[in-house]
Amino acid sequence: MKRTTRLIHAGRPDDDDGLVNPSVQRASTLLARSSEALYAPAKRPFHYARGGLSPQAELRDALADLYGADHVALASSGLAAVALALRLAVEGPGEALISDSVYGPVRYFCDEELPRLGVTPRYYAPRIGAGIADLLSEETRCVLMESPGSLTFEVQDVPAIADAARRVGAKTVIDDTWSAGLLMNPLELGVDFAAQALTKYVGGHADFLMGSVAARGDDADALARREIRYGLHVSPDDAFLALRGYRTLALRMERSGASGLEIARRLQAHPRVAEVLHPGLEDSPDNTLFRRDFSGAAGCFGVVLKDVSGREAEAMLDRLELIALGFSWGGFESLAMPCDRQLRRPAGSWTADGALIRLAIGLEDVDDLWADIEQALAD
């Protein structure tokens, strides 16, 4: 069956109650009828609620179907999911190769937490492709990718990097939030651990935070064990909302992606715009890899403004009336954000000199969004 069909049917409870959706079961304790039963968890699907009950189990199943994964772990946020994946990927001291384009808080995790494990983070330019081989050695514990990258949206050659890493025995992790596991499947492209912020497109309604990590084979077993050892738990209400968002993921991404691309094209022709950072644009340097590995675009992209200081760009964004300012993206509502204050590229992979803004296009009418952008960019 096609993925769009499976999104509707995966992770449906198969109990006898006839419910389409899992029940939201609020519990910590689960009572047993006897001491014998208390210690015979194999006979009961759940024996304590930390690992989650029906909504969490159905959400894991649905995401496992999306990725073709053997296990999906749920974490309290997207950041926690990437941190968990990295923790699994680095066993023992050495070096971790980190894409210059990773999400800022992930960079802070790498800089502060990896050295405590004896692992030195080393940043590489996201478009390095097979050239990563020059940086890999037997010291390399893991390679972290994010594609397209945060703020600057470079597409990475995921199969080439995964292949090169495998040759030296390094694990690979990707932050897959932009494609939500739907527009690209990193596990199919050879990545060991695919982490995403369900907070964004899967949630889709800006009302909770959650993250997931997907893996196959031995990595999936290791992931499942770590999830238990660390006592990870997400609330049943949030798992229910994530599964509800999952049902309409394809539909929302299609609309958000199409409107985003339309606005990206209109912006390309705008006199205040130096460059639109969107891999779906035909003249993007990332378009070839994008067309090879992705089935469509998300609605989030960057815009470099021409002859505009960071301060002037912020004043323009302040003039937006329909589009609100906010971190995060992937919800039904369009958001904008000035990026210069948080843009860091330790490997020097960012050289544009105009102010950078980010647009996350939601589900509003595209002409209404464009009218708002046009009036904000006008003098």
Tokens of 99: 């894409």
Helix (H, G, I), strand (E, B) or coil at 197: strand
CA-CA distances (angstroms) from residue 155 to 27, 67, 79, 174, 310?
A: 43, 19, 20, 12, 25
Nearer to ligand PLP, 22 or 78 (CB): 78
Q: Choose, from 44, 50, 291, 344, the residue flagged as catalytic.
A: 50
Nearer to ligand PLP, 65 or 146 (CB): 146
Nearer to ligand PLP, 197 or 335 (CB): 197
Nearer to ligand PLP, 211 or 331 (CB): 211
Nearer to ligand PLP, 13 or 326 (CB): 326
- The shares of helix, strand and coil residues in the chain, as percent rounded to the nearest 5, are 40, 15, 45
Tokens of 159: 């199969």
Residue 77 near ligand PLP by CB under 6 A: yes
Nearer to ligand PLP, 191 or 308 (CB): 191
Give the x/- contact pattern for ligand PLP in 328-357, rule: CB under 6 A: x-----------------------------
Instruction: Say how far apart CA 160 and CA 139 lie, in whole Å.
Output: 19
Among 56, 177, 185, 334, binds ligand PLP (CB under 6 A): 177
CA-CA distances (angstroms) from residue 99 to 132, 155, 168, 329, 347?
A: 10, 11, 18, 21, 9
CB of 210 to ligand PLP, least distance (A): 7
Tokens of 232: 């990870």
Among 64, 94, 96, 103, binds ligand PLP (CB under 6 A): 103
Of 33-41, 197-205, 256-264, 301-309, the window that binds ligand PLP (rule: CB under 6 A) is: 197-205
CB of 198 to ligand PLP, least distance (A): 7
**Type of residue found at 42:** A
Q: Choose, from 60, 171, 200, 358, the residue flagged as catalytic.
A: 200
Which phi and psi (to 5°) does residue 309 adopt?
Answer: -75, 165
Residue 360 near ligand PLP by CB under 6 A: no
Of 164-172, 194-202, 238-246, 251-259, the window that binds ligand PLP (rule: CB under 6 A) is: 194-202
Instruction: Say how far apart CA 208 and CA 286 lie, in whole Å.
Output: 32
Q: Is 3 a catalytic residue?
A: no
Residue 234 near ligand PLP by CB under 6 A: no
**Type of residue found at 265:** R
Residue 78 near ligand PLP by CB under 6 A: yes
Residue 287 near ligand PLP by CB under 6 A: no
Of 57-65, 89-97, 196-204, 335-343, the window that binds ligand PLP (rule: CB under 6 A) is: 196-204
Instruction: Say how far apart CA 130 and CA 143 lie, in whole Å.
Output: 13
How long is the chain? 379
Helix (H, G, I), strand (E, B) or coil at 317: helix
Q: Choose, from 60, 67, 103, 286, the residue flagged as catalytic.
A: 103
Contact present, 196 and 202 (Cβ < 8 Å): yes
CB-CB neighbours of 345 under 10 Å:
17
Q: Is 48 a catalytic residue?
A: no
Q: Is 200 a catalytic residue?
A: yes
Cβ-based burial of 328 (10 A; exposed 0-12, middle 13-18, buried ≥19): middle
Nearer to ligand PLP, 157 or 175 (CB): 175
Of 78-86, 186-194, 250-258, 269-277, the window that binds ligand PLP (rule: CB under 6 A) is: 78-86
Q: Is 237 a catalytic residue?
A: no
Nearest to 192 by CA among 215, 175, 213: 215
Instruction: Say how far apart CA 24 and CA 19 lie, in whole Å.
Output: 12
CB of 300 to ligand PLP, least distance (A): 8
Q: Which helix (H) or strand (E) holds 253?
A: helix 249-268
Residue 199 near ligand PLP by CB under 6 A: yes
Among 99, 101, 140, 150, binds ligand PLP (CB under 6 A): 150
**Type of residue found at 232:** L
Contact present, 144 and 98 (Cβ < 8 Å): yes
Catalytic residues: 50, 103, 175, 200
Chain residues in the site for ligand PLP (CB under 6 A): 77-79, 82, 103, 146, 150, 175, 177, 197, 199-200, 209, 211, 328
